Amino acid sequence: MEEILKKLPEENESQYIWKVGQAKDAGLVTETWEQLAPRLNIELGIDDTEWRGESAFRKKYRVMQQAYDDVFSKKQFAEEHKDKISDATKELYIAKKQFEDQRRECRKFWTSEARFEHLTNKIIESVNFLCEQQPLTFNDFYIGESYKDAVLCMADFHYGMITENIWNKYNTDICRRRVQELINKTIRYLQLHDVRTLHVLLLGDAAHGAIHASARVASEEDVCDQIINVSEIIAEAINTLSQYVQTVNIYATYGNHLRTVQNKNDSIHSDNMEKLIPWWLKQRLRDNPKISIIESEYYEFIYLNVLGYDIVAAHGDLEKFKNFGVTVNTLFSKKYGRTIDYTISADKHHIEEFESLGIESILTRSLCGTDEYSNNNRLYSAPGQTLMIFSNSEGRECTYNIKLD
């Protein structure tokens, strides 16, 4: 006990009182605080003028003990609930991040929604003006009695794009000129084969859009004007072609250059401004009794039956060309009970054909031709479009890969 009551040189007052109090609580010191007070005054070097009573030491010890208990109990509580606190903190962090993500997505949606609404309003105003001021008229030159159909693929116009390289020059004026050349050549082939029904497949990327910086730089017009102008070009072209056949069926899908969200990873494939083009065609061609616009029941796929032969078409940005036929045939066989004879796709900007398990796959040309991306990657292809002639006995009788200057 004597060693405990002796103050060590390195101990300060608080440490000394704490040591004595702890010894008392442990039963190592049996004296009361009143009995210990004289010894504590001596050990602490307190002179007679500042002599302290027992309460001064007792109360100071109790304050230190209370503080220690508070700290220890909180520490113990933290240790006991560490996992719960950690889980709660983690959940709070996750919830915060989810909220931030949702807020960011909402902002993207509101921006996209506002842009789309503005675009729609402008297109409605434009088509109403044209229908009133410049209605499309037509004559009927068809006098044939054959049972042949034709499929015209209108793909990858990329209207609004500007490019000039060693292989190709393209802008909005050249686009219009090539479409007129396409009309003239198509009319010649329609009359040559005495085609009764023309099936027009709009395979996407009619306008260049602005999905990334290079597209915006290489665009001659803004997206809204691109959609309006290319829609009218297509409407006038189909209206002209309808004069040389008995009926025209229009089918449309959408590409990837007019998606509403620029970032491919954030976008939903079906959220696409190119869906406005069929709507434009309905308004502009509604007075032509020869023309029907067939809405797809198969999402982004076009399905049509031409003289008994089943055809599926898509833009092609989501497909590997040589797998497309087998993949689509499996899908349509299982889901819709249809066996596919032909598949048609675009997007790759060059012509190619492939047959697998009796399914013929056709890859069509682009109207725009070699652009900067293709030129930089040494992917060259002449501008053009594809026209196929079908008969009920042979299926696809011939294919015209129409070159356009």
Ordered structural domains, the chain, with CATH? 2-80 (no CATH), 135-403 (3.60.21.10)
Rounded CA gap, 154 and 275, in Å?
15
Q: Is the pLDDT of residue 215 over 50?
A: no
Question: How large is the average pLDDT for residues 184-197?
Answer: 96
Sign of CA dihedral 294, 297, 302, 307: negative
Banded pLDDT at 147 (limits 50, 70, 90): confident
**83 pLDDT higher than 50:** yes
Please count the other Cβ atoms lying within 10 Å of the Cβ belonging to residue 383. Answer: 25
Residue 348: other Cβ atoms inside 10 A:
20
Q: How far lies 383's CA from each of 175, 181, 213, 367, in Å? A: 10, 12, 24, 5
Going by pLDDT thresholds of 50, 70 and 90, the confidence category of residue 78 is: low
Mean pLDDT of 333-352: 92
CA dist., res. 350 & res. 178, Å (int): 16
pLDDT of residue 266: 44
Mean pLDDT of the chain: 83
- Give residue 61's pLDDT: 86
**Contact, 250 vs 292, CB < 8 A?**
yes
Phi, psi of 58 (to 5 degrees): -65, -45
Query: What pLDDT score was predicted for residue 289?
Result: 95
Q: What is the mean pLDDT of residues 307-325?
A: 90
Q: Which one, of 130, 137, 148, lies nearest residue 289 by Cα? A: 137
User: Of 402, 374, 370, 369, which is closest to residue 388 (Cα–Cα)?
Assistant: 402
> Quick check: 302 and 313 in contact, CB under 8 A?
yes
Q: Is the predicted pLDDT of residue 12 greater than 70, yes or no?
A: yes
pLDDT at 101 exceeding the cut of 90: no
Exposure letters 183-216 (e unless 16+ CB within 10 A, then b): bebbbebbeebebbbbbbbbbbbbbbbbbeeebe
Write down the pLDDT at residue 214: 47
pLDDT for 358 equals 92
Type of residue at 262 = Q
Q: Does the structure show a pLDDT above 60 at 363?
A: yes
Quick one: pLDDT at residue 257? Answer: 55
Lowest mean pLDDT among 90-99, 120-129, 308-317, 354-363: 90-99
Q: For position 219, what pLDDT does the model report?
A: 54
Mean pLDDT of 35-48: 86
The reported pLDDT for the residue numbered 183 is 98
Q: Mean pLDDT check: name the lowest of 140-144, 308-312, 324-328, 388-392.
A: 140-144
Sign for the pseudo-dihedral over CA of 126, 129, 130, 135:
positive
pLDDT band at 116 (very low <50, low <70, confident <90, very high): low
Percent of the chain with pLDDT over 90: 42
**Mean pLDDT along residues 291-320:** 90
Strand order through the sheet with 302-306? 302-306, 309-314, 342-345, 359-363, 352-356
Rounded mean pLDDT, 157-169: 92
**Nearby residues of 45 by Cβ (< 8 Å), 6 or more positions away:** none
Supply the pTM of this predicted model.
0.68
User: What percent of the chain lies above the pLDDT cut of 70?
Assistant: 80
Q: What is the dihedral of CA 190, 191, 195, 200, to 10 degrees?
A: 20
Q: Is the pLDDT of residue 377 over 50?
A: yes
